[in-house]
Amino acid sequence: MIWTLIVGLVVGAIAKLLMPGKDPGGIIITMVIGIVGSMIAYFIGRGLGWYAEGEPTGFIASVIGAVILLAIYRAIIGRNSRIHH
pLDDT at 84: 52
Taking every pair of Cα atoms in the chain, the longest distance, rounded to a whole number of angstroms, is 47
Q: What digits encode the pLDDT tens for the residues 14-69?
A: 888 888 777 666 777 878 888 888 888 888 888 888 877 666 667 888 888 888 88
User: Three-state DSSP class for 85?
Assistant: coil
Is pLDDT above 80 for 75?
A: yes
How far is Cα 85 from Cα 1, in angstroms, rounded to an integer? 40
pTM summary value = 0.73
- How many domains, in total, are found in the chain? 1
Q: What mean pLDDT value characterizes the chain?
A: 78
